[in-house]
Structure 1
């Protein structure tokens, strides 16, 4: 998934209309650069200049990925004078990433993308996905209710 060059959005409006909130969350985390930024912000606030220096990336690249993560409400910033300090809005995101690493270790990193299927996003016309059904069962077991709203 590419960042929309016009707005730096990680999920463009026409794609967002057809994918589940869980899929949108994982799309936002599907880029190595965004994961590196999230991991860095888990250690504390950072400015764009800090991120470019620490990650060895161009300012425009960092800014576009920060815009994507902000669109997904995973990070935010606070202004101090002419500087912006970015931070995670949802620290529990690190728990999700830690769980993913445990899963990858348990499967011997066998998770791969199938080249023939599963590469096209599901649309609302396709009906609920298997992931949606699994999430609904999980939420029923825990007493939570799925509202179809974006993950926050």
Structure 2
């Protein structure tokens, strides 16, 4: 008998709880997520990207650790960010120190800077997890783009 009374009590309590929780009103409307804005395509004049293939080939060689080939994309008059001439020995040292300190290059993203193809910013990922920017200046020598200034490999 006590069990029936206790069960009845819990059923009544549960009924009151359910009745109290249902206010009879419609629930608040769920707001819809704001859609992401449509990206605006980056429009660059053709003249701003003409040197990109040269920089891409340069970094493909550097990524493969083929520094002899990478050096061929530099002008004979190339300088570093302090104005010091980048000879083949200097370049080899820069490239090898980068690999020894930060690991191999795993990815490179290129972005033209300016409207005349002379400036390129490279975002470089190394297998140590480091990510950094390199700034390159190029010059059209005859029909070939050459790197005339770089701050790092």
Could you say whether these structures have the same fold, taking a TM-score greater than 0.5 normalized by the shorter chain as the test?
Answer: no
Structure with larger RCO (C-alpha < 8 A, sep 6+): 1
- The TM tier, using the shorter chain, reads under 0.3
More helix by percentage: 1
TM-score, normalised by the number of residues in structure 2: 0.28
